[in-house]
Amino acid sequence: MFQNLKQQMKKYTIIFLCLILCFSAAPTKIFAADVATDAIPEWPKGPEPIYSDTAVLIEASTGAVLYDKGMNEVLYPASITKIMTAIVALENSNLTDTVTFTDTACALAVPGNARIDAKPGEIMTMEQCLYALMLASANEVGCQIAIQIAGSEAAFAEMMNAKAAELGCTNTHFTNASGLHDANHYTTAYDMALIMQYAIQNQEFLTITGSSSYTIPATNLSAERTLSTHNAMMVPGDFYYEGTFSGKSGNTSEAGSTLVTTVTRNNMTLICVVLKAADGGQSVADTTALMDYGYNNFTLTDVSIQNQERTGNVILPNGIDFSSLIEDTDEAGSIFHYSYQGHFMGSAVSNIEEKTADTNDISSLSSVSPSPVISESSENENFFTPAHIIMLVLVVMILAGIFCIFLGLKKSKKKKRKRR
């Protein structure tokens, strides 16, 4: 009997340790996130169902969040990582730079990986590499771009992290240039929206990601290659969405299907990010539903129509007019921020003093726009979720079981002593 109790105790201890390891492995999502924007009074109710674990929809010029389903929850990005890779590359190289592929990078050109089968010693231009990165999602090309610019992929990842921090990303950490799985390589839907908001201000980025195909001429080691975009929403077909001009998809078994999409209609640019969809079809369906929701329920409004002394934009949901917004200013009194029920809606600058920014430009507007006000539940949902409650209950149950075993052992010893 004593031996059986020892075995039971050992079994419970192993289960306990396994549970701790499972729940501490980041980032793991068990329950679907709530839609925080649905809690804003008189806000248009988001489309249902959105199957992706998390999603966000923002208006690009203001940075206003139109839809928030767990947008600050940490998940894996997969190949949408390459948006940041491309931007860091564009800002730290020239399109005419010569890139010679190394053994290190070409080791990623294996079956199962997105690739163009680059060979060690093969020579391309940086421009050709960026098309291969963004259209074909070639992982070995991402690695070689990193080595070309920073000397190693790890050093390049630090450049990516520095850029993310500069853009206001607070829950993002990159370890590679491709998005291949790493437990320490993660982001959020909102952080990726911020990265895309910045990326679409770069004309070279727009030219590359807005192309449906591109031909890399024959190189010193390979024949001519014709690349086609993986962005199904941008090309004619079942998933085409009018106005789509840039984006990036991703997929790994750990990340699921991820998608970043930008669309312009009616003089309004929307950025949608969905993370951890079941497959590419689901990520496209969710994005389509969210884009329809945005264009059917919100209007970009020029602040100068209400006040000629100011220049800027605010986003207005159907049924909510400009007079419903609360105005706040910076310390200098020259930048005006507008909110509704504590939710950021846009900003403007004063026309009285000399303008320091052209507010018709996305870059100038985003530079004066604060981070949107997020509901308290959305900010704190990473710290105490139902998963944590289940873990706590399981831990208590296991500890109780171990305690009972100890009591059984003590009683067993007492009985043996009495027999003696």
Task: List residues with catalytic annotation.
Answer: 79, 82, 137
Judge whether 349 and 369 are in contact, CB under 8 Å. Answer: no
Q: Angle at the Cα of 44 (from 42 to 49), degrees rounded to 5?
A: 135
| Number of Cβ atoms within 10 Å of the Cβ of 43 | 21
